[in-house]
Structure 1
Amino acid sequence: MTRSTEDTSGPVMWVTGAGSGMGRATSVAAARLGYRVALTGRRADALDRTAELVAEAGGRSLVQAMDATDDDDVRAAHDTILGRWGPVTRTVLSAGLNTPYRYWRDQSVSTFAEIVQTNLIAAARVVDHVLPGMRDAGDGVVVLISSYSGWRFSPDAGVAYSASKTALASLAESLNAQENANGIRACHLCPGDVDTEFLTMRPTVPGTSDRREMLSADDIARAVLFVMESPSHVCINELVISPTKKNGPAGRTSTGGLG
């Protein structure tokens, strides 16, 4: 199902995983700055709620349920955005997946493949669709929302999750090496612990006191918009964000169980 609030002004931003957490927060923050925001994700009801929040923020949205691991779905979503609003010049890849079964002793290869499909291959698929329009425009920003465990090895984050998120760094580096000349910049954004519903995928779900020390989805949204709003001659290749810890050495961040 596709719905939109029509307006042809403002840059076009496509947010995957827009139905919750960091994707939702980024969509609402971008709307406040005048972006037209295309919202995609698997859950139509969650996307509708994000669209309501975008409208409350005075923004414009286009909603389309989409499985980012399905090329036909991604192509159809991109064609709809292109036909309704024109080229996508800002992309936030926020769709992600993990599992409580994170170790070689208990993981399955089928789940490993599903996680890699969602976290890595789906991101590359969306980028592949938007790059021609960005090249034609001579302008584009891609933010790959990764993880602290994609920047520094985190033993409890999961075999598949760590591998797929680490690979996003290479995706960003290759984009910058090959596409900076076309005005396209990519950022590998690596948040530490963030208090979102994604925490339910952990073997042990953190309690209220632990969540109070974490980053919020709005913290990540501000970081994404910092990257998006930077001047065109500035490429923020990688950005690592971690919560301060009140009960430990200054500047130290827990890396256990990320994702």
Structure 2
Amino acid sequence: MRHAFVTGAGSGIGRAIALALASDGMRVTLAGRRAGPLEAVAGEIAAAGGDSLVIGGFDVTDPKAVEAGVSKSLAWGGDVGVLVNCAGEAPSAPFEKTGLDLWNRVIGINLTGMFLVTQALLPSIRRTGSGRIVNVASTAGLTGYAYVSAYCASKHGVIGLTRALALELARTDVTVNAVCPGFTDTPLLDGAVDTITDKTGRSRDEARASLARANPQGRLVTPDEVASTVMWLVAEGSTAITGQAIPVAGGEVMGG
């Protein structure tokens, strides 16, 4: 049985990915800062006959917390064959009002945290054969958006890290890819909705509609659609797919 490790697994995209991995027969380590949401996901997995481990207090910016969580996970489920880095946040602020604390926090969670978790798990992933690493980036890693400079910078960094590591591991059996969701119907989106309503006075429904218009299909992406893309990338038949940053955004961003 393959063992998958998912950060940010308590809600939104991370939750959808964890449920999809479990439904495919994998045992899943659910890692995140808050135990409550992770326990809820573990309950859903158990109800469907799956197996999972909850690791709360998993702060991706804290090397000691990462080391402890990884050790607990390996002792429970053996070597990890699938790593999905999904932990992240997306605060909004004009560039001139983006303080160093905010900048460092976003880079720390979205990029440095991904580095720490991947580095801690890579020896295990390499031992499994056909290892898979999938980094949840964003269309913000492929283009620019106003008022989220730290977020855009961090997600561009995620894609750069993905491509560099993919080349380092190209002659092994480990692939490294990124998925880049557009505006997705998750709790993280609520922060963007709050910002729009506060600054414009528009209703929440109007704010959500304005975000949906960025997608040429005229809608928000669903977490399950992102999870489906991840499942394709971790499949045994996807060995030739590595170093890619795949938009899941209804045509908002297209490769040149």
Ranges of 4+ aligned residues in structure 1 off by more than 4 Å: none
Secondary structure, aligned partner of 1:87: coil
Cα-to-partner distance string for 1:193-232 (whole Å, 9 max, x where unaligned): 1010001222226527626810111111111111111425
Q: In the alignment, what sits opposite 1:117?
A: 108
Pair 233,221 (structure 1): closer, same or farther in 2 beyond 3 Å: closer
1:239 to 227, 230, 246: 246
Determine the C-alpha separation between the residues in 1 that align with 2:96 and 2:36.
36
Letter of the aligned partner of 1:95 in structure 2?
A: A
2:61 to 69, 75, 78: 69
2:170 to 161, 170, 180: 180
Determine the C-alpha separation between the residues in 1 that align with 2:60 and 2:8.
9
Q: In the alignment, what sits opposite 2:184?
A: 194
Determine the C-alpha separation between the residues in 2 that align with 1:239 and 1:252.
12
Q: In the alignment, what sits opposite 1:83?
A: 75
Secondary structure, aligned partner of 1:166: helix
Letter of the aligned partner of 1:78 in structure 2?
A: V
The answer to whether the 8 A contact 1:28-1:57 is kept is no
1:42 to 27, 30, 33: 33
TM score, norm. by length of structure 2: 0.87
The answer to whether the 8 A contact 1:115-1:164 is kept is yes
Q: In the alignment, what sits opposite 1:134?
A: 125
Q: In the alignment, what sits opposite 2:205?
A: 207
The answer to whether the 8 A contact 2:130-2:239 is kept is no
Pair 78,165 (structure 1): closer, same or farther in 2 beyond 3 Å: same
2:20 to 29, 37, 40: 29
Q: In the alignment, what sits opposite 1:170?
A: 160
The answer to whether the 8 A contact 1:183-1:232 is kept is no
The answer to whether the 8 A contact 1:185-1:235 is kept is yes
TM score, norm. by length of structure 1: 0.86
Q: In the alignment, what sits opposite 1:217?
A: 223
Determine the C-alpha separation between the residues in 1 that align with 2:224 and 2:142.
21
Higher helix share: 2
Secondary structure, aligned partner of 1:181: coil
Determine the C-alpha separation between the residues in 2 that align with 1:155 and 1:141.
33
Cα-to-partner distance string for 1:33-54 (whole Å, 9 max, x where unaligned): 0011000101110101111111
Cα-to-partner distance string for 1:112-143 (whole Å, 9 max, x where unaligned): 10000000000010100111112223331111
Query: Which sections of structure 2, spanning at least 5 residues, go unmatched?
Result: 198-203, 213-217
